[in-house]
Amino acid sequence: MIQLLTYVVGFALAAQAFIGLGYLVSSIWEKEKRASWFGALQFVGMLMVLLIYIMLASSGYFTTPRGAALLIVISTLAAGAAYFFMRRTPPNERALKGAQGHVVSGVKRYDERKVVFARNHLVPGSSEYERFYNEYPDLRERDEERRKRGHVLGKYGFVDTPHEKANVAIMLAMRYFCANTCKPEHLEPPQAPYLNGHKESVTPIEAAIKVKGIAKHLGACMVGITRIDSRWVYSHRGTIWKRKYDHGDTGWSKWGREIELEYPYAIVVAEEMDRKLVDSAPHTPVFIESIYNYSKGAYITTQLAAAIANMGYRAKAQHIQEYDVLLPPLAQDAGLGEVSRMGYLLTKKYGPRVRLSAVVTDWPMQVDKPKDIGVENFCSICKKCATCCPSKSISEDRHPSEHNGSIRWKINGDTCFEYWGKVGTDCCICMKVCPWAHARTWPHKIIVWLISRNKYAGMLFSYMDDIFYGRKPKPKAPPVWAVFRKTTDNRQRKPVASTTASGQD
C-alpha cells in the first residue's frame, strides 16, 4: 500500500513539474518576461521537490513509520487541495440563462442615437443635431464640452505621433473593403430570382450545421445561434457613416427611424484578434487589428446573409456599417461566452480577443444554449481592467448591479471614448490586460478549464495572474511590420515611451 502511494505521489509531483515546464516554455514563447522568470522559479522549485522526493523514496525512507506517516499526510493534503480546486462548484444560474438571466425588471430598449459614436457623428448645426439634443438635453452640454476639448476620435494614431503614419495608412486600408463592398444596401440581400419565392426545405439542425460551416469556412473562429430577445434590439437607428452611398443617399434619411426587427434568429459570429497586435494596446497596431476584424466580420456576414437569401429565406447582416441589435447579449445567449466587467464578451477559447458580428434571419434553425464559463465570479475578484483603464471608465464594484433592468457592470462609454480621442486609437488596454486574453497554450487551457468549473480556482488564478504578469502589464512591441517608430531602423522595435505601465498618460 505504502509502495503504491509512493509511486502515486511521485507521479503527481512529476506531472506538476511537467506542467511547470510547459508554463515556462509557453511564457518564453509568448515573450512574457516577468512570467518567464516566475515560471522558471516555479519550475526549479518543483524540480527540487521532485528530486528530494526521489532521493527519499529510493533511500527507503517512506517504508519507515515516520516516513509513511509523512507520506500519508502529504498525499492527503495534496488530494484534498486537488479536489478543492478541481471539483465543479455550483454553476452561476444567471449565466446559464444567458443575458435574460441578468434581467431583474423592465428593460428599456436602447436608443442607438445615444451611443457615443453615434453622437460623435452628429454634425453641429444640422437638423438631426438639434432634434437629438432637444430630446436628450442632458447630453448636449457634455458633448459640446468634449467637442471643444477636441477629444473626439479624429486624430488617428495620435499616441504614436509623429511615427504613426504607416500604421494609420494600414488601419484605414483595413476599412476600405467593408466600406466599399459591404455597404448598407448590401446588408439585406434579395432572394435569388430563380427561386420564384420557393424556400429550400432544410431541417433546423441541418440549417444550423450549414450556417456554422459557412461562417467558419469564411474565417469565423466561433459561431453560435440564438432566438432574438427583442430587448436587445435598438429602439432607433443612430450610427450613420458620413459618406455618399452608391444611390446617393447619405444615410441620414434612416437616422432616428424606429427599428422593428422581424427576424426571429441571430447567427452570432466571432473573429479572433491577433494577440501580438492586441498586446501593443493602446498603440496603433491594435487599431489595425480592430478595424481588420470589423471588416472581416462584414465580409463573413455579408456573404452568409447572401447564402441564406439564396436558400429562399430573409437575412440581414449586422456589422460595423449598421447594427439593429446589441451584439454582446446576443452572443451570450448564443453560447459564445459571458459579458464581462469591461463590457466585452469573454470567450473560453480567446477571452476578450474577439470582434463580433451577426446575421439575423427568418430561417428556422437549432439554437445554442448559453454557458456558464465562470466569468462573473472571476471578474468579481480580478478587476484588472478597471485598475488599468486610463480613463477610469470601468466599474470597480465587486459585484454587478442593476442598470436599465439588467444586472451587470456598467461602462462609462463617454469617458472611454474621450480617451480614444486623446490617443487616436480604440485603446483596448482593458482587452490586453485581461487574464483571459493570454494565448491558449496548453498550460493556459488547463487554467481556463479549472476557472470555468471551480470558483476557488478562479480566485486563485486571478491573484496568480497579478504575480506572474503584473497588476499593470506594459504595452509590448508588435511584430516588426507594425512597429510605430521610424521604420528606417528595424532594430527599434520597442513601443514609444508615450504611455506609462498601464498605458496611461
- Which residues sit at the interface with ligand SF4, rule CB under 6 A? 340-342, 378-379, 382-385, 389-391, 393-394, 416, 419, 427-430, 433-436
| Min dist. Cβ of residue 191 to ligand SF4 (A) | 40
Q: Which residue has the cell 506517516?
A: 69
Sign of CA dihedral 224, 228, 234, 238: positive
Q: Which is nearer to ligand SF4, 20 or 374 (CB)?
A: 374
Q: Which is nearer to ligand SF4, 57 or 389 (CB)?
A: 389
| Min dist. Cβ of residue 423 to ligand SF4 (A) | 8
Query: Is the separation of the CB atoms in 350 and 270 below 8 Å?
Result: yes
| Min dist. Cβ of residue 447 to ligand SF4 (A) | 12
| Min dist. Cβ of residue 358 to ligand SF4 (A) | 22
Q: Please give the single-letter amino acid code of residue 133.
A: Y
* Strand partners for 347: 351
Q: How far is CA 396 from the centre of its chain?
A: 19
Query: Is the separation of the CB atoms in 430 and 382 below 8 Å?
Result: no
Q: Which is nearer to ligand SF4, 238 or 473 (CB)?
A: 473
CA dist 51 → 20, 42, 97 (Å): 15, 14, 49
Burial of 254 (0-12, 13-18, 19+ CB in 10 A): middle
- CB neighbourhood size of 106 (10 A): 8
- CA-closest candidate to residue 286, choices 294, 297, 275: 275
Q: Which is nearer to ligand SF4, 237 or 353 (CB)?
A: 353
Three-state DSSP string of 300-333:
HHHHHHHHHHCCCCCEEEEECCECCECHHHHHHH
| Min dist. Cβ of residue 167 to ligand SF4 (A) | 18
| Min dist. Cβ of residue 379 to ligand SF4 (A) | 3
Q: Which is nearer to ligand SF4, 314 or 383 (CB)?
A: 383
| Min dist. Cβ of residue 459 to ligand SF4 (A) | 12
Q: Which is nearer to ligand SF4, 288 or 367 (CB)?
A: 288
Question: Count H helices, E strands: the chain?
Answer: 18, 8
Q: Which is nearer to ligand SF4, 215 or 385 (CB)?
A: 385
Instruction: Determine the Cα–Cα distance for residues 202 and 212; give it in Å rounded to an integer.
Output: 14
| Min dist. Cβ of residue 437 to ligand SF4 (A) | 8
Q: Please give the single-letter amino acid code of residue 363.
A: W
Q: Which is nearer to ligand SF4, 95 or 427 (CB)?
A: 427
| Min dist. Cβ of residue 340 to ligand SF4 (A) | 4
- CA-closest candidate to residue 334, choices 363, 309, 357: 357
Cell of 224: 453560435
Q: How far apart, in Å, do the first and last CA atoms of the chain sit?
A: 63
Q: Which is nearer to ligand SF4, 183 or 348 (CB)?
A: 348
| Min dist. Cβ of residue 381 to ligand SF4 (A) | 8
Q: Which is nearer to ligand SF4, 236 or 341 (CB)?
A: 341
Instruction: Determine the Cα–Cα distance for residues 87 and 416; give it in Å rounded to an integer.
Output: 39
CA atoms lying within 13 Å on the CB side of residue 84: 9
| Min dist. Cβ of residue 222 to ligand SF4 (A) | 18
Instruction: Determine the Cα–Cα distance for residues 435 and 73; give it in Å rounded to an integer.
Output: 34
Q: Which is nearer to ligand SF4, 121 or 383 (CB)?
A: 383
Instruction: Determine the Cα–Cα distance for residues 321 and 241; give it in Å rounded to an integer.
Output: 7
Residues 6+ apart with CB under 8 A from 490: 480, 483
Cell of 409: 457592470
Burial of 407 (0-12, 13-18, 19+ CB in 10 A): middle
